[in-house]
């Protein structure tokens, strides 16, 4: 099975397909054998979120091994952080710019989850928080009587 990386921008008005493609091109530079695809979710209703969301999924045999998955996710997160910081620098200054939220998934759920708030601060790591939410959801799904 080929290694495939899917990049999804749930709101193309926040992170545009062209911007997602910039990230895809940078990820392709990590390993030219990886197939990197950009998908845009067409909105069918209104939703309000403070974050500009970017989801990245990693699939394939190389990502089945836990350490390789973590290493790839870390490198991809670094690319997204650098991209988001540069994007904050390019944008016209706003009073309260919306942070970029990136969640990187592997075969068993979230591997890295971060919020990038501006061009200089370190990203806020939300990995454990998101993993706990996923685990709680799985537990409720598997034990509906306990809900």
Nearest to 69 by CA among 78, 59, 79: 59
- Global pTM? 0.88
Q: What total number of domains does the chain contain?
A: 1
- Segments forming the whole domain that contains residue 19: 4-146
Nearest to 102 by CA among 139, 71, 69, 57: 57
Round the average pLDDT of the chain to a whole number and report it. Answer: 89
User: For 19-78, where are the E strands, in sequence order?
Assistant: 35-40, 52-59
- Domain holding 68: CATH number? 3.30.429
> Helix (H) and strand (E) counts for the chain?
3, 6
pLDDT (average), residues 24-47? 87
Report yes or no: 67 and 116 within 8 Å, Cβ to Cβ.
no
Measured between alpha carbons, how far is 129 from 135 in angstroms, rounded to an integer?
10
pLDDT in tens, 63-104: 988 999 999 999 999 999 999 999 999 876 666 689 999 999
Q: How confident is the model at residue 58 (pLDDT cuts 50, 70, 90)?
A: very high
């Amino acid at each position: 099975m080929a290694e495939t990386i899917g990049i999804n921008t749930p709101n193309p008005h926040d992170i545009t397909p062209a911007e997602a493609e910039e990230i895809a091109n940078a990820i392709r530079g990590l390993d030219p054998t990886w197939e990197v695809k950009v998908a845009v979710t067409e909105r069918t209703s209104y939703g309000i979120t403070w974050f500009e969301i970017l989801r990245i999924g990693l699939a394939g045999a190389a990502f089945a091994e836990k350490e390789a998955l973590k290493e790839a996710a870390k490198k991809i997160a670094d690319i997204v952080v650098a991209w988001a910081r540069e994007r904050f620098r390019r944008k016209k200054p706003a009073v309260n710019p919306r942070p970029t939220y990136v969640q990187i998934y592997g075969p068993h759920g979230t591997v890295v989850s971060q919020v990038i708030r501006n061009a200089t601060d370190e990203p806020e790591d939300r990995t454990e928080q998101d993993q706990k939410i996923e685990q709680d959801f799985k537990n409720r799904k598997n034990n509906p009587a306990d809900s």
